[in-house]
Amino acid sequence: MSLRALLSSSSLAMATRVLKCNPSSISFLPSSHEPQISCPETLDSLLEASNHLVDLLRPVAFPTETVYGLGASALSISATSQIFAAKGRPPDNPLIVHVSSLQMLDILLAPGFTIPQPYHKLIRSFWPGALTLLFPSNPDVVPSIVTANLPTVAVRMPSHPVARALIAIANIPLAAPSANSSGKPSPTRPEHVLRDLEGKVGIILDGGPCDVGLESTVVDGLGTDGNIRVLRPGGVTIEDIERALQLDIVAGQRIPQVLVHGRDFRDKEMEDTPTTPGMKYRHYSPAVPVTLLMTLSPPPEKVEAISAANYLADLKNLRQDSSRPFKVGLLASTDSALSMLPLPTDGLEWHRHSMGSKTDLAFAARSLFDGLLTLERDGVDLILVEEVDQRDEGLAVMNRVRKAAGETKWISFC
Ligand code: TXA
Ligand code: MG
């Protein structure tokens, strides 16, 4: 029985409807959080989704500028527990709460909490946008299922017009993880959500592909040292955060340091709990094995780089079914040393997915999850992902690829 047939015969299955939402028909007046919607179909879709969220207390999948989210009322235990069920998400992995205004943020905060000065700068520079900030949580407002009992709650104000309008119309903060089964790559197109969660979610709002293509940057600025700790690199780059913190510095004022988890600090206690995104659980892995090809960085001590031509030709030896070629997905830049090599065809069939020019790291970010999910759908046997430069969006790209890859190979071109 196919998965689709199995799901529709199961008592848990529900009909999934994909409702069109045209982001360019939604606008916000300057300094207003009220959406103006010019397209009747988009308005109908948003009203129906809002009804699903508020009156039925059911989750809805919706586009954000980073990835698609699976949202439900952050104030309801029953609504948020359905997110965990649909994703198969472990209960100790907390959710990000999405707001559409600073007034909505206020409702979530612990009484008496004063927003630290660096947060004001980050909010001014990046909200609405791909930055998530940790705040002390108020368990009287946000149930502990959302925060996994942590003393903090992660909050972000998305910039995607459909996400902003949906939250504003529903008039409730939405807890929303990425709209994928736990452990899979995050969806960046409505068809990714449908393929993964059909029968498990009632409504998917189709707002087209996501601009950023990987998740928000998660930042903790609550430490007593006043520094900014980046728990997960993402859509807002470290370079952008450093620049924002330097704005309007007056003489004698200290600029907070920006410390990146895994690069500048580690925290054993945190790594044992899932508060560092992607630490405890398997992440971002398609159903197909992924190999990371390190083509820029030198190999670690005692590891030898393999010649690129030999590595590619030897892939045919992985073939288990000699009646057909071994299908290899290649997620690579268009102008890298690897992309210049002729691809061997003996016993191999190649499926390329472009990561754009090696200097366009925003394009690489937009292409990564889309590429993994597209190549998985195309039925390849193995996906090769080429290393990108670890600056700007490249840091987040490499963070996700390392977690998705079961194997890493160092490749040389001489
Ligand atoms: O761009 C995004 O952030 C997307 C869109 C939908 O907004 N959301 C997203 O959610 O990526 P999710 O659940 O896939 O990843 C959020 C990560 C979780 O892995 C969790 O570990 C971390 O944020 N997180 C949530 N609350 C936290 C907290 N209080 N402290 C530390 N980390 C937290
Ligand atoms: Mg996720």
Residues 385-409 have pLDDT tens digits of: 999 999 999 999 999 999 999 999 9
Pairing mode, strands 203-206 and 17-20: parallel
| Ligand 2 centroid from CA 92, angstroms | 13
* CA dist., res. 355 & res. 293, Å (int): 14
Residue 191 has pLDDT above 50, yes or no: yes
The 10s digit of each residue's pLDDT in 341-377 is: 999 999 999 999 999 999 999 999 999 999 999 999 9
Q: Where are the beta strands (DSSP E) in 55-119?
A: 60-63, 68-73, 96-98
* Cβ pair 95, 80 in contact under 8 A: yes
Mean pLDDT of 185-193: 98
Position 249 scores a pLDDT of: 85
129 torsion bin: left (phi>0), alpha (psi -120 to 50), beta (else): left
Q: Which of 167-171, 213-217, 272-276 has the lowest mean pLDDT?
A: 272-276
Task: Please name the residues in contact with 114: beta carbons below 8 A apart, sequence gap of 6 or more.
Answer: none
171 vs 280 pLDDT, higher one = 171
pLDDT digits (tens, 9 = 90+) for 28-58: 988 788 999 999 999 999 999 999 999 999 9
Cβ-Cβ contacts under 8 Å for 229 (sequence gap 6 or more): 219, 220, 221, 223, 259, 261, 265
Q: Quote the ligand 1 centre to 91 CA distance (angstroms).
A: 13
Q: Is 18 helix (H, G, I), strand (E, B) or coil?
A: strand
Q: What is the pLDDT of residues 86-137, one digit of tens each?
A: 999 999 999 999 999 999 999 999 889 999 999 999 999 999 999 999 999 9
> Which of 221, 195, 219, 170 lies closest to 35 in space, CA to CA?
170
The confidence score (pLDDT) of residue 7 equals 44
CA 309 to chain centre: 34
Confidence band, pLDDT 50/70/90 cuts, at residue 169: very high
Nearest CA to ligand 1 atom 10: 177
189 vs 212: CA distance, rounded Å: 12
**pLDDT for the residue 272:** 60
- Amino acid letter, 291: T
Ligand 1 atom at shortest distance from the alpha carbon of 89: 13
Percent over 70 (pLDDT), the chain: 93
pLDDT-derived band of residue 166, with 50, 70 and 90 as boundaries?
A: very high
Spatial contact of 254 and 209, defined as CB atoms under 8 Å apart: no
Question: At 8, which amino acid appears?
Answer: S
Please tell me the distance between residue 32's alpha carbon and the centre of ligand 2 in angstroms.
30
Mean pLDDT for 163-185 is 97
Beta-carbon-side half-sphere exposure of residue 16 (alpha carbons within 13 Å): 24
In whole angstroms, give the CA distance from residue 145 to residue 92: 8
Q: Which of 276, 45, 86 is nearest to 178 (CA)?
A: 86
The pLDDT of residue 182 is 95
**Ligand 1 shell residues, CB under 6 Å:** 64, 66-67, 69, 93-96, 132, 134, 147, 150, 152-154, 156, 176-178, 215-216, 218, 231, 274-275, 277
Provide the residue type at 411 as one letter: I
Residue 352 tokens read as: 């390329």
Question: From start to end of 341-381, where are the E strands?
Answer: 348-354
Residue-level pLDDT at 6: 46
β-bridge mates for residue 331, sequence order: 353, 385
pLDDT score recorded for residue 30? 82
CA count, 13 A, side-chain hemisphere, 285:
17
- Sole residue written with tokens 């925003």: 362
- The model's pLDDT over 292-319, given as tens digits with 9 standing for 90+, comes to 999 999 999 999 999 999 999 999 999 9
pLDDT of residue 10 exceeding 50:
no
For residue 338, what pLDDT is reported? Answer: 93
Q: Pick the range with the lowest mean pLDDT from 211-215, 268-272, 305-309.
A: 268-272
pLDDT at 9: 44
Cα separation, 101 vs 76, in Å, equals 19
Rounded CA separation 410/115 (Å):
45
Q: How would residue 161 be classed by pLDDT, with cut points 50, 70 and 90? A: very high
Taking the C-alpha atoms of residue 104 and residue 123, their distance in angstroms, rounded to an integer, is: 14
Q: Which ligand is nearest to the CA of 132?
A: 1
**DSSP 8-state class, residue 5:** H
Residue-level pLDDT at 284: 82
Q: Strand, coil or helix: what is 82?
A: helix
Specify the pLDDT at position 252: 83
Q: How many CB atoms lie within 10 A of CB 269?
A: 7
How far, in Å, CA of 169 to CA of 165, rounded?
6
Q: What is the mean pLDDT of the chain?
A: 93
* Helix, strand, coil % in the chain, rounded to nearest 5: 30, 20, 45
CA distance 217 to 235: 6
Helix (H, G, I), strand (E, B) or coil at 230: strand
Instruction: Taking residues 185-212, report their average pLDDT.
Output: 98
Q: Does residue 168 surpass a pLDDT of 60? A: yes
353, 356, 358, 361: CA torsion to nearest 10: -110
Q: Which two tokens stand for residue 233?
A: 């690199």
pLDDT confidence of residue 282: 63
Burial of 15 (0-12, 13-18, 19+ CB in 10 A): exposed
180 C-alpha to center of ligand 2: Å? 7
- H helices within 222-264, ranges in order? 238-245
CA-proximal residue: ligand 1, atom 24 (nearest): 94
